[in-house]
Amino acid sequence: MFNLNRRRGFSLIELLIVIAIILIIITIALPRLTRARMYTQEVAAMAAIRTIHTAQTQYYSQFNKYATSLAELGPPASGSANASSADMIGNDLANGKKQGYVFTVTGSQGGYVVSAVPETFNVGGSRTFYSDQTMVVHEHYGPEPATPQDPESK
């Protein structure tokens, strides 16, 4: 008969089969995880653009003009808030980088333009975004910056 006391642990073949199964599962799941992370960062970028719009509206009501840079919307280095640093957005967004995207705000005649591009295309995101004082967000699939002619984001 077969002695059960002599068998301790798994054989090498059994361990190799388990490792192979784990590697197959990882190979299948990794691309989906990467796409999900990129999508999350893109959604966060659109939320940050909405935050900038809200801050611009508050800035306009307070100073009777739109901010021409993110620094004007950000917190002051010291002292109280003023027109050059109104403390309406967080320091991370005021520095221009947040969750894999680079944000810029530039002044335009009677308004402003917001642009968001991934730090590394196809790693942080696969879309670029454009918006202005109309608060409509436009998206572009590709590394080129989005423009007002690109389709509206859904």
Q: What is the pTM of this model?
A: 0.81
Q: 59-100: per-residue pLDDT in tens? A: 999 999 999 999 999 999 888 888 889 999 999 999 999 999
Residue 2 pLDDT > 60? no
* pLDDT tier for residue 3 given thresholds of 50, 70 and 90: low
Q: 11-59: per-residue pLDDT in tens? A: 889 999 999 999 999 989 888 888 899 999 999 999 999 999 999 999 9
Detail the DSSP E strand segments found in the chain.
97-98, 101-108, 111-118, 127-132, 137-141
In Å, how far are 4, 17, 22, 41, 134 from 46, measured between CA atoms?
62, 44, 36, 9, 15
Of the two residues 151 and 1, the one the predictor is more confident about is 151
